[in-house]
Structure 1
Amino acid sequence: MTAPASLRDHAYQTLKRRIVEVQLRPGARLVERDLAAELDVSRIPLREALRMLAAEGLVLLVPAKGALVATFSPADVRDLFDIREVLESLAARLAAERATPDTLAPLTHRMAEARTATVSGDLRRIAAANAAFHAEIIAMAANPLLSNVMGPLAARTEWLFRLTASRDPVEQCSEHEELYGHIASGAADEAATSAFAHIAAGRELSITLAEKWSDPDFDPELIARGRRRRRVES
């Protein structure tokens, strides 16, 4: 049986936003009964939403036990940086090679949003704007296979940006400005180099921060089968 898409999508979008914005911490238990009541949906659309979130790496499903917000361990962070350094550098190169006034316009808009968010000092807004800027470069690369590979990582990338909000937003915006300039001028080699350097600059700090928010003794089965239910934050 398949749930109505509107109910499933409501549950999916709400939980996704709460996870990405760290209203729900990595490793937090997701209790179906509580979530279904809070979101005003039945178990069927809720379970479909949880499966969608699991496919994006945001939720961990423990068979016959329950669901948890996925962990984001130092090893997970390291793996994500390994992928991003290579593929986002490629995306920047392709974006620069294919830059035209029309294809550049959406990236120009994203750059303006990132500047405004940085000035605001709103960490949630900064994380969302920075994630959108990176996603736009991938779209601008106009490579469907690259988009298919990177698409499922978009939510985890924004989640990482939110978890590592202590990184200097002004410095990040400056690095985005440099990358944008190379893409806009069609300097493919420089764009690829700039993208790699920008992503690599956040690697060690992100791994260090992950050591603080992750639990080395995390046991998903033990947490998922816990009897105590805790209502999630709104």
Structure 2
Amino acid sequence: MLSAGLPQGAVPKLERPGPLRDRVYEALLELITTRALQPGQHLVESELAGHLGVSRQPVREALQRLNTEGWVDLRPAQGAFVHEPTEQEADQLLTVRTLLEAEAARLAAANADKAGVAALESLCVEGEKAVTADDVDTAVALNAAFHAKIMTLAGNTVLAELAAQVDRRVRWYYTPVARQRGRQSWIEHRELIAAITARDEQLATTLMREHTEHTRRSYHERTQD
């Protein structure tokens, strides 16, 4: 286990071939977004390199890229640390997410077919099982998949591209409140499915706006505890 505190089994296996620096970047980003590496945690190049089975060079390159993208802070004479998002950062991103997701829900209600609705139903069933099993990691992944599917059903490529840009940060903010949101989140998902099935664009928009707003409030309430 890393002295920095990575849980056993958290380090993903790197696939080869492919640009190693990109593989290391993806592995580290996944560890950050799932909170296996916590905000504020010190990232030691040699330790990360050892656990990923690579040299320090691709780790250094990956950390520089993550710093540029705002996931990691490189501090002179101190090293690399997982970025600690401010309340303002989280609020701004989750507000943008609400705008994107609400429009996606409206378009999904207008465009979704039976196969699309069935896919949402299947994801919802699996998500409910994960909540019952208290499997937070799986619940978070299924939550992301559910929202991604609605984005697909919306049928707007530009909207989907914009949503993809914020998806990983949404997962980052959602992970610490996933247990708190729990079953209620999936109840809200079922309400969304019903609105999409009924092709009620206005209701789907309202429900998605309320759903994402609940997550935003939960995040802020958590930080105030």
The normalised TM-score by structure 1 is: 0.78
How has the CA–CA distance of structure 1 residues 96 and 192 changed in structure 2, closer, same or farther, with 3 Å as cutoff? same
Which of 19, 41, 44 is matched with 1:31 structurally?
44
Structure 1 counterpart of 2:155:
142
Structure 1 counterpart of 2:111:
98
Task: Give, in whole Å, the separation in 1 of the partners of 2:67 and 2:122.
Answer: 31
Structure 1 counterpart of 2:3:
none
Which of 167, 171, 178 is matched with 2:184 structurally?
171
Task: Give, in whole Å, the separation in 1 of the partners of 2:200 and 2:209.
Answer: 14
Runs of 4+ residues over 6 Å off in structure 1: none
Report the Cα offset of residue 151 of structure 1: 0.7
How has the CA–CA distance of structure 1 residues 104 and 49 changed in structure 2, closer, same or farther, with 3 Å as cutoff? farther
Task: Give, in whole Å, the separation in 2 of the partners of 1:134 and 1:51.
Answer: 30
Alpha-carbon displacement from aligned partner over 1:39-79 (angstroms, at most 9, x marks no partner): 11123432443355456643334578643212122112211
Q: CA RMSD in A?
A: 2.5
Bigger relative contact order (CA 8 A; separation at least 6) = 1
Task: Give, in whole Å, the separation in 2 of the partners of 1:5 and 1:46.
Answer: 15
Alpha-carbon displacement from aligned partner over 1:108-136 (angstroms, at most 9, x marks no partner): 33222212212222222222211221122
Please state whether the residue corresponding to 2:84 is helix, strand or coil.
Answer: coil
Structure 2 counterpart of 1:231:
none
How has the CA–CA distance of structure 1 residues 65 and 152 changed in structure 2, closer, same or farther, with 3 Å as cutoff? farther
How has the CA–CA distance of structure 1 residues 193 and 33 changed in structure 2, closer, same or farther, with 3 Å as cutoff? same
User: Greater shift after overlay, 118-127 or 104-113?
Assistant: 104-113
Instruction: Give the AA of the match of 1:34.
Output: E
Please state whether the residue corresponding to 1:24 is helix, strand or coil.
Answer: coil
Gaps of 5+ in 1: 213-234
The normalised TM-score by structure 2 is: 0.81
Task: Give, in whole Å, the separation in 2 of the partners of 1:90 and 1:196.
Answer: 9
Q: Percent identity?
A: 35
* 1:73/1:210 contact within 8 Å kept: no
Instruction: Give the AA of the match of 1:16.
Output: L
Instruction: Give the AA of the match of 1:69.
Output: V
How has the CA–CA distance of structure 1 residues 188 and 62 changed in structure 2, closer, same or farther, with 3 Å as cutoff? farther
Asked if 1:84 is matched to 2:97, the reply is: yes
Asked if 1:132 is matched to 2:150, the reply is: no
- Number of residue pairs matched by the alignment: 210
